Amino acid sequence: MIAQSAFTVEPWALHETSLELEHLAQTESLFALANGHLGLRGNLDEGEPFGIPGTYLAGFYEEKELPYAEAGYGYPEAGETVINVTNGKLLRLFVKDEPFDIRYGKLIAHERVLDLRAGVMRRTVEWASPTGRRVRVHSTRVVCFTRRAVAAIRYEVEPLDGTVPVVIQSELVANESQQSEPGDPRGATLAPSLLRSESSSARGTRGVLVHATQTSGLRVGAAMDHTIVGPERTDVTADSEVDLARVLVAADAAPGSPLCLVKFLAYGWSGERSVPALTDQVEAALASAKHADWEGLLAEQRSYLDDFWERADVQIDGDADLQQAARFALFHILQAGARGERRPIAAKGLTGPGYDGHTFWDTESFVLPVLTYTAPRAARDALGWRHRTLEAARERARLLGLRGASFPWRTIAGSECSSYWPAGTAAFHVNADIADAVVRYLAASEDEDFLHEAGSELLMETARLWRSLGHFDASGMFRIDGVTGPDEYSAIADNNVYTNLMAQRNLRAAADAAERDPSQAAQLGVDMEELGSWRRLAQTLYIPYDETLQVHPQSDGFTKHQVWDFAGTGPEQYPLLLHFPYFDLYRKQVVKQADLVLAMLMRGDAFTDEQKQRNFAYYERLTVRDSSLSACTQAVLACELGHLELAYEYLREGALLDLEDLEHNTRDGLHIAALAGTWIGAVAGMGGMRDHDGQLTFAPRLTPPLTRIAFRLLFRARKLQVEVTPEQASYTLLAGETLELSHHGESITVTAGAPLVRPIPPAPQRERPTQPQGREPGGAAPAA
């Protein structure tokens, strides 16, 4: 766990007041900067020491072989892994020929601040060299939201004890060595020297490197340029090698006369552009950034974020940790997708190499709901990426003997990258998750252009899969057998309730889309028979129910399995996947992450209140939360059902997952979907927001000790603010036309400039459900 003494709790910043080398990799993830296209881990400017160096471009990958002890038909032949591309962050400092390295000499002071309003990372260090020369270094780093290819660093060094010769060595470096945690499938597969040089040059204050991958056929360009302010006789030289471009700046700096440089960086990649074209692309981006100058870039960044926070901020009173965590989460979600522009949003965003940089279903189910209501253009672009990969999903379906499209469980470029088919190939629910995200975006945005360009095709091709995957039984019910739902401790199960209910929504949405967009339906060959079959399948989809226990089994027969021996499982044996065979997990009642409970959140319209209460209590005692995706879902349902103390504990646990490194793998990157879960826990939990078929409803309840929550969201060209206290909720339309809503079942109409206040009914008094021994939520309120 990251030592909290190193951080202060501030509402608009992550502020590190001391440097803990044993937590260096974790803090590199926390202080990462990105814009959805380009990501820079929060490595120290000087490059060393480091945990995991990282510079990433969305969608840029290398292919790798997938090992099999025994191959089988339909197994993916090749995987994809994210690459640490050319590192432009490096600014090595030499003080009178001594390298500035905090492991030597004396680190007198260290401070880093991730400023969530300005969108920059600032660092101040005071250091004494082994021979006693003291210097102070100030640096500020930005990855631009307004210029997708551009990052910049301002680096200033000032001696404190008199005039000293200093050299700043600014570099572009490819094929850095890296480190990885072995033995954890959630980590990364890292390999050195993945890039081959195609061009390198350095002249004046500028350097450019172009490299290509060995197998995937992608080419990346990186360029740097500088503005330099220093004492008289500041000398600048440049040189380049195969994997290195370097600019050296030398001067005699003195107290009050520091040496300062601004380093401008530009990145681009392509699978088609030539070396000259890619070189021109990054040089042009660099010239534009340098023309804007440092202060101009900062002003653009602040303006962009002012607009974002004005429409997306979440205010929480009563828990300073939670307030900080909520804004930290929103900032990193924005960084993961803002400028993705039809590139994938990975599970770790652009903050680290975890999960090999793959995108999973949780992008659509957790991240895109947040972006849909706060940054809808980013949600549109992410769905546009899925549409770009549609042909690969069609090919995968054909290979499996199915119709329509079969989207991959984990991927970068659109191909299935999981070599473990029970969790990968069988997780067909990803189709319905994508469809759900399309329906949600269309309902919230009323973006008819997207419907015609991509939405209709996604909905209809995903729906086609279910017809060929399932079958009718003797009673006339439509069954979907042999699939894996969200809970990865169950696999190849019949009629997973989450999968079936989400497929039902998918089928209905596809039929609606075919009627709304008949030209696209005709182009895809959808006739009246097929359209009618989708509605018939949705009507007859089988949803298992255990009449004896009066609960929904997660899938057929689940409630008849042996219950896992929780009492005999020690705390050191979690997560279970690292200590027990999947065979044993699959045949027991133990739940890695919310599955049936997630179904009650995503398809709450399909359950009665009484069913939700019984289901929630049943699955609480089985869910071990070995996944970061679970706590937020449990928080929302706990809040809805009146377990307010439990909801608060789950909300805090999920919100602090990375800030406190609760899963011990933040070093590999942040959990972007879990960060999205912080927003979901606040807005869907305490705010009680639901959006079923485009009908926005609220049933807010505040969880003690919180005294107030306020949030804003975008919906159908309106900007809505919701404010919740223990006694009442206020709905204010900040922009746009009259909006029809629901408050705890009461229909209300909100008009601009006239806040509408409604009382909050008391929560029902219910017995608190129990959790598996030793797996109770750890998110209690901090000590006063």
Residues designated as active site: 488
User: What is the DSSP annotation of 719-782?
Assistant: EEEEEE-SSEEEEEEEESS-EEEEETTEEEEEBBTB-EEEEPPPPP--PPPP-STT-S---PPP
Cross-strand bridge partners of residue 171: 246
Q: What tokens does 635 get?
A: 């928080």
Q: 279 and 210 in contact (C-beta within 8 Å)?
A: yes
Q: Is the dihedral of CA 552, 555, 556, 559 positive or negative?
A: negative
Q: What stretches of 627-667 adopt beta strand conformation (E)? A: none
Asked whether the beta carbons of 221 and 279 are under 8 A apart, the reply is yes
C-alpha–C-alpha distance, residues 508 and 224, integer Å: 51
Q: Which two tokens stand for residue 578?
A: 């690292």
CA 67, CA 79: separation in Å to the nearest integer?
10
Q: Which residues contact 563 (CB under 8 A, 6 or more apart)?
A: 588, 589, 590, 622
Give yes or no for a contact between 142 and 37, defined as CB atoms under 8 angstroms apart. Answer: no
Residue 347 contacts by C-beta under 8 Å, 6 or more apart in sequence? 354, 355, 358, 359, 360, 362, 363, 669, 671, 672, 673
Using the 8-state DSSP alphabet, how is residue 712 labeled? E
Helix 429-445, helix 456-469: angle, nearest 10: 150
**What is the separation of C-alpha 364 from the centre of its chain, rounded to a whole number of angstroms?**
10
List, in sequence order, every beta strand (DSSP E) within 187-307. 195-203, 206-213, 219-229, 235-241, 244-253, 259-270
Please tell me the number of Cα atoms within 13 Å of 658 on its side-chain side: 32
Confirm if 678 and 711 have CB atoms less than 8 A apart. no
Q: Are 749 and 778 in contact (CB under 8 A)?
A: no
Task: Look up residue 224 and give its two tokens.
Answer: 């740097």
